Structure 1
Amino acid sequence: MTGAVPPEQGRDLAALPKAHLHLHSTGSMRHATLVELAYRSGVRLPESLRSPSPPPLRDVDSRGWFRFQRLYDVARSVLTTEDDVRRLVREAAEDEAAEGSGWLEIQVDPSGYAARYGGVTPFLELFLAAAREAEELTGVGIGVIVAANRTRHPLDARTLARLAVRYAGAGVVGFGLSNDERRGATSEFARAFAIARHGGLPTVPHAGELRGPEHVRAVLEVADPARLGHGVRAAEDPALLEELARRGTACEVCPASNVSLGVAERPEDVPLRQLLAAGVPVALGADDPLLFGSRLTAQYALARSAHGLDDAALAALARSSVESSFAPEDRKRRLLAGIERWLATPP
């Protein structure tokens, strides 16, 4: 993976079997669907969401986060019926199938939809049913990550952790903690993480995006995570990288969103190579394509063009995504075999 590979000389990245482990529910929405549902529901979209181009998010002081959150909340507000939720999940699965994903872990915070859908439990049941329908229609396996919001009270996180455990084995595959990493004390969410782990669910909190290595270490201690959402700021501490590699804690690296939010200045500044060189498992993710403007295959294209990864290294990234997933073992075996076939086919 030493030299840049011209895109026209590489294999088709959309044909590379892979798993997508970092995708938020509302952020997966197609722009055309957003516009259509907003018109139907009478939601006035800001100009930045009416345009099909990704909105400008970068801000020196806020790192673009507050603007991002406002736009995300507006996008979520266009979902008003059960059919809207089914459509959201179905279209996400259809897009993943077109991107070569054989397994999707989609993250959702039921509390963000509870008021409109009769509570967190009815909404999660609706979302899980939509996932099953989308899986049957597209062939893409879908696991649901229930994610608490770190800007809400930690007791809410405990409620969601119990809810996630209740539906473990019925489509819920993990428990996360998302939103602005700079808000709330991570230690206050320790009980929620413990509930999830004791219920047999792996934890996948966000860390190492808006805060540095010190917070990654705190999350490792409090949550004992299987994966970290983002984790890129761990590259600032070589000893921490060694620990992540030793633990086998995967980082869900989302290059396009890192640049959009100002975590990295340019795609080539995302520390993908440092993570890989340290032996840290990496799974590329698109985060919120609606707001960041690119889906999963584009993240692999950035790894090729901005970081000079050749097809063998890209196949290794896809392999890591599958191995770091919570997919059933038979699906993992099929995806891994498909990766080997992709690599064995001449470009």
Structure 2
Amino acid sequence: MARHEDRDPLNEEDLAQIADLPKVELHLHHEGAAPPAFIRGLAKEKSVNLSGVFREDGSYAYRDFVHFLSVYEAATQVLQTPRDYARLTTALLEECAANGVIYCETFLSPDFCGGGDLGAWREYLHAIREAADAAERDLGVTLRGVVTCIRHFGPEKSRPAARCAAETAGDWIVGFGMGGDENRGELNQFLYAFDMAREAGLKLTTHAGEWRGPSEVRSAVEDLRVARIGHGVRAIEDLALVDLLAETGVVLEVCPGSNVTLGVYPNLAKHPIAELRDRGVKVTVSTDDPPFFHTNMRREYFNLANAFQWDADVLRELTRNAADAAFCDDDTREKILKRLET
């Protein structure tokens, strides 16, 4: 495979192929995918004051990563019932379909869906699944759920989240992971929750190596024993760790637009996704919280193509990486792979 700097500039045919590529997304936060207009509409219906959540142009307003988390959680105030989550599921899958996504895994937190109560979680999950089934039928997008605990809520709250995941594990809830503020606590404090999920047969991922350095990525691999890592990009600062990721096949759920918007890297040209790929790491592409970061999957593909002169074949490779790393059952994966070949 030629390195990105050796490629000729993209032509119109290349760009047209990229626009039409079917896509697979592995790193998408359910609430973080809510269009601002959708949240504002729910706030109006429910008479919820969301002052400070939006800019004058209607987009989400935040200063930095920590403030982003608080705005994110403030916006979720309007998501109060299973029906609200069903409506949100429809809205986010319509966006996925509009950008050529055929399979997506979404991060769902029982802390937001019923406050960690198992009975309430089942009600929310039922509503989300019904909406997802309808979207698969009508839009051709397959959705699966990855339950997440929230790191800055602390290790104790991770246990009810893991229990909700374990009790509903199956063909639709396929994984367990952790999001939130990476600078709070240590990964090994969450071993109980991850072990509970593992014993239930769930596959594992966690956010790491976005804000903290490579030692955090190493902890995700060695302590939590995850199959995938959300972000993981700061592994590039330790080439022995990069080699470990390549050798073990741990997959990175890379969100380039998110990383640039939040200031992890100053621009896409400085982003390490290309070097990680060149060094044999399995990288994939996702949007993270797309309306917050003014992105979508089609835009991510175009931006990578322009920044690194990646043609459609390289982006197909990244999409295949994502399909291979998806936490779904083998029958679902085979269906996805067949659709990628057409």
Tell me whether the two structures share a fold, i.e. TM-score over 0.5.
yes
In the TM superposition, 1:68-83 aligns within 5 A as 68-83=68-83
CA distance in 2, matches of 1:4, 1:255: 22
Give the match for residue 85 of structure 1.
85
Give the match for residue 96 of structure 1.
96
Give the match for residue 7 of structure 2.
3
Alignment deviations for residues 25-62 of structure 1 (CA, whole Å, 9 cap, x no partner): 1111122212211222223334662555655645xxxx
Q: Give ranges in structure 1 of 5+ residues lacking alignment.
A: 59-63, 342-347
1:123 aligns with 2:124: yes
SS at structure 2 position matched to 1:103: strand
Give the match for residue 185 of structure 2.
184
Aligned with 2:48 (options 40, 43, 58): 43
Give the match for residue 112 of structure 2.
112
Alpha-carbon contact 2:159-2:192 (below 8 Å) kept: yes
- Residue 320 of structure 1: CA displacement? 1.0
SS at structure 2 position matched to 1:33: helix
Give the match for residue 217 of structure 2.
216
- Residue 145 of structure 1: CA displacement? 0.5
Aligned with 1:26 (options 10, 31, 41): 31
Give the match for residue 272 of structure 2.
271
Alpha-carbon contact 2:102-2:142 (below 8 Å) kept: yes
1:198 aligns with 2:199: yes
SS at structure 2 position matched to 1:90: helix
Alpha-carbon contact 2:146-2:176 (below 8 Å) kept: yes
Higher RCO (Cα < 8 Å, 6 or more apart) = 1
Distance verdict in 2 for CA 1:119–1:335, change over 3 Å: closer
Amino acid aligned to 2:22:
P
Amino acid aligned to 1:74:
A
1:255 aligns with 2:260: no
Alpha-carbon contact 1:35-1:50 (below 8 Å) kept: no
Give the match for residue 326 of structure 2.
325
Give the match for residue 291 of structure 1.
292
- Residue 127 of structure 1: CA displacement? 3.0
Alpha-carbon contact 1:7-1:304 (below 8 Å) kept: no
SS at structure 2 position matched to 1:22: strand
Number of residue pairs aligned between Structure 1 and Structure 2 = 336
CA distance in 2, matches of 1:130, 1:124: 10
Identity within the alignment, %: 35
Which deviates further from its counterpart, 82-91 or 111-120?
A: 111-120
Alpha-carbon contact 1:4-1:304 (below 8 Å) kept: no
Give the match for residue 61 of structure 1.
none
Distance verdict in 2 for CA 1:18–1:327, change over 3 Å: farther
TM-score under structure 2 length normalisation: 0.91
Q: Give ranges in structure 2 of 5+ residues lacking alignment.
A: none
Distance verdict in 2 for CA 1:182–1:47, change over 3 Å: closer
Alignment deviations for residues 305-344 of structure 1 (CA, whole Å, 9 cap, x no partner): 1122122111111111111112333443343344344xxx
CA distance in 2, matches of 1:17, 1:335: 10
Give the match for residue 16 of structure 1.
21
Alignment deviations for residues 64-88 of structure 1 (CA, whole Å, 9 cap, x no partner): 1121012101221122333221111
CA distance in 1, matches of 2:219, 2:275: 21
Which deviates further from its counterpart, 287-296 or 45-54?
A: 45-54
CA distance in 2, matches of 1:293, 1:244: 30
CA distance in 2, matches of 1:127, 1:52: 30
TM-score under structure 1 length normalisation: 0.89
Which deviates further from its counterpart, 110-119 or 304-313?
A: 110-119
- Residue 14 of structure 1: CA displacement? 4.1
CA distance in 1, matches of 2:12, 2:132: 35
- Residue 223 of structure 1: CA displacement? 1.2
Alignment deviations for residues 112-148 of structure 1 (CA, whole Å, 9 cap, x no partner): 2325997444333433343333333322111101000
CA distance in 2, matches of 1:142, 1:236: 34
- Residue 252 of structure 1: CA displacement? 0.6
CA distance in 1, matches of 2:51, 2:20: 36
CA distance in 1, matches of 2:57, 2:198: 40
SS at structure 1 position matched to 2:274: helix
SS at structure 1 position matched to 2:223: helix
CA distance in 1, matches of 2:94, 2:82: 18
Distance verdict in 2 for CA 1:85–1:7, change over 3 Å: farther
